[in-house]
């Protein structure tokens, strides 16, 4: 059991590390304003989250087959009973999972910050009562002609 569980926990940890890397890439895209990268990152995150869930369920089945409950306490007990090597990988997995929760929260805050800025901008434009862009898509400032500076 210990060797099989050790291999399984190692696989879970590797998947969690890949998930953390995607969360960091997502944060970087949000910070840099590379919103076009978000759909692809979101799809990859969803696939990896599904893989992590499958691995988690398999670990819980292994715990139950060994007489331990299929929960966190059962996993802690299995790790404690299986020796220091398995305990270390289990604790590393738990640390990565905590980091993933924090990173996912950080990214949520970044997303909501961007959304709030967009909402405030739209509300400002609506409250001013004037169109900032004409029907031709050119920016209008005050009483100006709406001509592009680049057009000369």
Domains along the sequence of the chain with CATH: 2-151 (1.20.58.300)
pLDDT tens readout for residues 60-81: 999 999 899 999 999 999 999 9
Residue 126 burial class via C-beta count within 10 angstroms: exposed 0-12, middle 13-18, buried 19 and up: exposed
* 3-class state of residue 30 by DSSP: helix
* pLDDT at 39 exceeding the cut of 60: yes
Cα 119 to Cα 68, 113, 116: the distances in Å are 50, 10, 5
In this prediction, residue 136 carries a pLDDT of 80
pLDDT tens readout for residues 125-145: 777 766 667 778 777 665 455
* pLDDT at 59 exceeding the cut of 60: yes
Which tokens in the block code for residue 5?
Answer: 């569980």
Q: Which of 111, 100, 90 is nearest to 19 (CA)?
A: 100
Which tokens in the block code for residue 12?
Answer: 């879970």
Statement: the pTM of the whole predicted model exceeds 0.85: no
């Amino acid at each position: 059991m210990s060797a099989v569980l050790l291999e399984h926990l190692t696989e879970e940890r590797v998947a969690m590390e890949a998930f953390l890397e995607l969360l960091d890439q997502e944060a970087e895209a949000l910070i840099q304003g590379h919103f076009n990268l978000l759909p692809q990152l979101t799809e990859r995150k969803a696939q990896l989250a599904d893989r992590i869930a499958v691995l988690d369920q398999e670990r819980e089945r292994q715990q139950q087959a060994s007489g331990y409950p299929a929960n966190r306490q059962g996993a802690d007990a299995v790790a404690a009973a299986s020796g220091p090597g398995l305990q270390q990988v289990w604790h590393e997995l738990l640390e990565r999972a905590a980091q993933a929760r924090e990173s996912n929260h950080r990214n949520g805050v970044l997303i909501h910050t961007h959304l709030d800025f967009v909402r405030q901008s739209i509300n400002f434009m609506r409250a001013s009562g004037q169109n900032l862009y004409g029907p031709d898509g050119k920016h209008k400032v005050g009483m100006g002609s709406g001509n592009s500076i680049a057009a000369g």
